[in-house]
A and B are shown apart, each in its own frame.
Chain A
Amino acid sequence: MTAVRASIRRDVRIRGSADDIWAYVGNAARLAEWWPGITSCTVDGDTRTITMGSGLAVPEKILLVDDIDRRFQYRITGPLFREHTSTIDVHDLGDGTCLVVYSIDAEPSTMALVIGGAGGNALAHLRDLIEGGS
């Protein structure tokens, strides 16, 4: 049968410094700046609420913001998911570029792909932001 749970990974290589990239990724309140389709984002303690383009508001719990390893991890706590964890890692490759990885583990699998697909698109947008210098 089709998997009910899915684990999906998207990545992008960005020409830029890890600190510049982490300034976006590691700041929970800046998500709407680099994730197309998120129209607003508010943070209150470890709770973040995003609003999607459809008007759907989704609550999230911030699980980890590691400024040393440059890892951001969060969980969607809304009713669409039975289980969800997303992780964003910024790896400094030491050659003036970074590998940014978005990983999602979720049930149902279809939502993992919906969010993971959008995450891949967001990484491409983040690359444009960093490499475009804006």
Chain B
Amino acid sequence: MGRKILLITTDQQRYDTLGCNGGELARTPVVDSLAAQGIRYERAHPQSVVCMPSRSTILTGQHPSTHGVYMNGVPLPLDAPSVAELLRRSGYRTALIGKPHFQPFLDPFLRFAENSLGDETTPSGGAHRGFEHLEFATHGPVGPLHYARWLAANHPEVIGMFYRVLDDQLQVNADGGGATGAPQVHDNPVPREWYHTDWVAERTISWLDSLAVDDDWFCWMSFPDPHHPWDPPQSELGRIDWRDVPLPAGYPEKAADRERILDAKPRHWRMWYDGALVSNYEAPANWVPATMTADQVREVNARNAIECELIDEAVGRVLRRIRDRGWDDDVDIVFTTDHGELQGDFGLLFKGPYHVDALMRLPLIWRPAPSASMPASTVTAPVGLVDLAPTFCGIAGLPAADWMQGQPLPIDDVDAQQRGFERVLTEWDSELFGVGVHLRTINRAGWTLTRYLPGTVHDGTEGELYDLVADPLQQDNRWDDAGCAGIRDDLLADLSDSAPPVRRPKLQLEAPV
């Protein structure tokens, strides 16, 4: 019997939403406890700041340039490498429960495997991407996935209670709600036990209950929250009064301050803020960030924190069942997310081609199996989600596959230094309706540098450079600062030297998301 693996992911969760990372809004005692027992990473970055590329990196252990899913709407090929398949072939029972998103959701043809399972939880052929058990959910109550089908079959009366994720144009909905009219905020009367957070936990528990005690298993429990819409069960809204929520440090309250900061960044930042350009599908096309009020920022943060609390409690229920089964000493638990959320920083919400900590600095906690006797620690060296797949291989006693581009996560900073964890890369490529935006980012030694490749908005000379020690909020772009030319040029050379191989031929964009 070997070590079992529970991978817990959330969707679009910021680093600072956890108590163990200094967050003061959401109470997250369960995940905080995992961090106290295990390894907490202070500089974990995704390799893309949107769902499909980032999740594909978790599964394949490859950068987006290499696995080829360069933006949402580009499906990961069914024959792409999968760490779940490696584990399954070595005897692990495997499951993916919750949000997958390796293929597009907008699929009226049901031509993608993720959308065409019907009520089946066992894929034809025995496994799908290495997972022998599948139960899928996403942010809404309608569609072909298991959670929506379960609601339709058992609680159809609640389907209309949720926020409508897309509008009549099938764009991300800009409609506001709650007390402040903030976009994607909604009062949802759904009973808590029928909300997708609890459903994901209950389905995970059900699958764990189906296993033999001596099975080795890898379970990816994938919560759709705290990604918008911010429509947690109404019964939970009393947890945090939005009026008591302090404004985030990254939100300059004066419009003039916001505009000054944005104007020092490449032009698409200010263009989006003013409503002149929405370069990507992930933000509502009909919402202008400059119209957002301070109270709306407060209410979004309150709802988001409530969703984080519900996740924490759901994780706690799953961990109790693991203890009840007698497995806890042999279970490695990894908690992370696919990317962050702007959540008011710079006067913005949602996500897009904006490589700052709001979107790139992720919660990442690894609680090694207690039987492995690894001491608790904090790692400050940069790591990436690309390192998860080889970490899982290491836990299972397998060598990392040669197609993986990361390496097993370091257990402390000494280990990180010895094994060369110096930099982490993030990339963005979007080409949507005639607008092309391309970013390459490196984080190293307390600096974040982003180079803009030529596109329809940028000419290739633009960039961003932030000193994260002196400027943790990334409000002072040093790209054109002559005093920083040395570090800028050094990081640019490193970025070029470290670029991952590019998949050819390029995969096609097949849907908006």
Query: Which residue numbers of A lie inside 8 Å of B, CB to CB?
Result: 1-4, 6, 10, 36-38, 52-54, 56, 108-111, 113-114, 117-118, 120-121
Q: Known: A1-B275, A1-B277, A113-B509. Is A6-B109 also a contact (CB below 8 A)?
A: no
Measured in the bound complex, the distance between the Cα atoms of B235 and A12 in whole Å is 53
Q: What are some 21 contacts across the A-B interface (CB < 8 A)? A: A1-B276, A1-B278, A1-B286, A2-B432, A2-B433, A3-B434, A10-B508, A37-B107, A52-B109, A52-B110, A53-B109, A53-B110, A54-B109, A110-B169, A110-B512, A113-B433, A113-B509, A114-B108, A114-B512, A117-B509, A117-B510
Contacting residues of chain B (15-50) with chain A, CB-CB under 8 angstroms? none
Measured in the bound complex, the distance between the Cα atoms of B236 and A105 in whole Å is 45
Measured in the bound complex, the distance between the Cα atoms of B300 and A111 in whole Å is 29
Neighbouring A residues of B510 by C-beta, 8 Å: 113, 117-118, 120-121
In the complex, are the beta carbons of B277 and A117 less than 8 A apart?
no
In the complex, are the beta carbons of B170 and A110 less than 8 A apart?
yes
In the complex, are the beta carbons of A120 and B508 less than 8 A apart?
yes
Neighbouring A residues of B104 by C-beta, 8 Å: 117
Cβ-neighbour of A113 out of B144, B286, B511 (below 8 A): B511
Min Cβ gap A12→B in Å is 10
In the complex, are the beta carbons of A54 and B508 less than 8 A apart?
no
Known: A53-B111, A117-B508. 8 other contacts (CB 8 A): A2-B281, A3-B433, A36-B109, A37-B108, A53-B109, A54-B108, A108-B169, A114-B511
Neighbouring B residues of A4 by C-beta, 8 Å: 169
Interface majority SS (helix, strand, loop, mixed), chain B: loop
Query: Which residue numbers of B lie inside 8 Å of A, CB to CB?
Result: 73, 104, 106-111, 116, 144, 169-171, 275-278, 281, 285-286, 432-434, 508-512
**For the complex of A and B, 7 pairs with smallest distance between CB atoms:** A37-B109, A53-B110, A117-B510, A37-B111, A2-B285, A110-B170, A108-B169
In the complex, are the beta carbons of B109 and A109 less than 8 A apart?
no
Q: Known: A1-B286, A114-B108. Is A53-B512 also a contact (CB below 8 A)?
A: no
In the complex, are the beta carbons of A37 and B171 less than 8 A apart?
no
In the complex, are the beta carbons of B108 and A52 less than 8 A apart?
yes
Closest to B169 in A: A108
In the complex, are the beta carbons of A38 and B512 less than 8 A apart?
no
Min Cβ gap A40→B in Å is 12
Closest to A124 in B: B508
Neighbouring A residues of B281 by C-beta, 8 Å: 2, 110
Measured in the bound complex, the distance between the Cα atoms of B433 and A117 in whole Å is 13
Min Cβ gap B113→A in Å is 12
Q: Which residue, of B433, B434, B512, has the highest number of chain A Cβ atoms within 10 A?
A: B433
Q: Which residue, of A54, A110, A118, has the highest number of chain B Cβ atoms within 10 A?
A: A110
Neighbouring B residues of A52 by C-beta, 8 Å: 108-110
Q: Which residue, of B508, B509, B510, has the highest number of chain A Cβ atoms within 10 A?
A: B510
